Copies of this chain bind each other. A is one copy, B any other.
Amino acid sequence: MNFTFLVNIGANLAKNLKFIQERYNPEFLYMKAIEVINNKLEVREAQLPELKDDEILIKVKAAGLNRADIAQKNGLYPPPPGASEILGLECSGIIESVGKKVSSKKPGEEVIALLAGGGYAEYVACPEYHAISKPDALNWVEAASIPEVYATCWLNLFMEAGMKKGDKVVFHAGASGIGTAGVQLAKVFGCDSFVSAGSREKIDFCIDLGASAGEIRSNDIFASIMDWSPKGADIILDPVGAEYLENNLQVLGMEGRLVIIGLMGGAQSNLNLGHLMIKRQKIIGSTIRARNKDKKNEIMKELSNKVLPLFDQGLLKPIIHEALPFSQCERAHVIMEANENIGKIILNLD
């Protein structure tokens, strides 16, 4: 054993230690995360996510709940290949470290992020461009309410349905996170909106936010839509699916776009292609989670440029139903499953 050999051992040890520090090697570091145990949520210990070269590691300050989390919890919505098994599609937080090839972000930056999974945890990794700077006007809880609903609205209203000034837009489940975001976006971009929702209170809330009309789900929503817009709607954003399909197409006007983003009312339906053709309508099936990395980059870039400044200008506001501590994740899900919320439910890790 000579001196050179000892020096090599020392250098290797230092290198390995650096690697461990840089990469939060999951064999050495653990975090708190929420796990699904017999369809209930519990805080457990989990390995830190592995950080890929083009990813950033975020220390989560708050995480938003989404209805898709319920489906995933119940085994009905598996995460896309390569995504974390942990629930959670959005968060706010501080960048803890960055992968080797990351060029746009630095540790210490405050961000909000669209996630393919993993948000219900102390740390989450995501591609660098899926995180964008947190608006200054928002606190952590408010900021965590933005990525999923605004990315979904931006993608579906603007990119898929080509929403433009003067369009008449229907939001079913108008008091949901997506509905309350959509109503505000429609107003800011010069469109008129109609909401359906489960109660008069929810309708009134949406009208305060900028919708011009609405109807309670137990009444005849579709007759009310025709009263609101005798020529029909230009766009319908619909999380219901089969149960509403034929009525939706009836109240959709010439060259109208029906964007299906959920199937709360089933998947199997009848369809009359004659009306679809004569009215030159489009039915668009859309999800955001399984989109490829580039598409998500594009959506988040547009959000950052065109939507986030509107929060700082006071033209959009986050709609928070309730923020609960991380430890009360199970209760948070119970509230969402009861459909009681207006706007978003948030887990607070701060």
Contacts and interface: CB of A to CB of B under 8 A. Distances in A.
Interface of A: 241-242, 245, 260-263, 266-287, 290-291
Nearest to A277: B285
Given A268-B274, A280-B287, 19 more contacts: A241-B277, A245-B271, A245-B273, A260-B276, A262-B277, A267-B273, A267-B274, A268-B273, A269-B271, A269-B272, A269-B273, A275-B285, A276-B285, A277-B286, A277-B287, A278-B287, A278-B290, A280-B285, A280-B286
A262 B279 CA distance: 13
A255 to B, nearest CB: 9
A74 to B, nearest CB: 16
A283 B278 contact: no
B270 A269 contact: yes
A242 B277 contact: no
Nearest to A284: B282
B285 A281 contact: yes
A172 B269 CA distance: 24
A292 to B, nearest CB: 10
Contacts of A266: 273
Contacts of A281: 285
Contacts of A242: 273
Nearest to A246: B271
Contacts of A273: 241-242, 245, 260, 263, 266-269, 285
A265 to B, nearest CB: 9
Contacts of A269: 270-273
Nearest to A265: B273
Contacts of A275: 285
From A266, A268, A279, A282, residue with most partner B Cβ within 10 Å = A282
Contacts of A286: 277, 280
Nearest to A283: B283
B277 A261 contact: yes
24 contacts: A245-B273, A260-B276, A261-B277, A263-B273, A267-B273, A267-B274, A268-B270, A268-B273, A269-B270, A269-B271, A270-B270, A273-B285, A275-B285, A276-B285, A277-B285, A278-B285, A278-B290, A279-B285, A280-B285, A280-B291, A281-B285, A282-B282, A282-B284, A282-B285
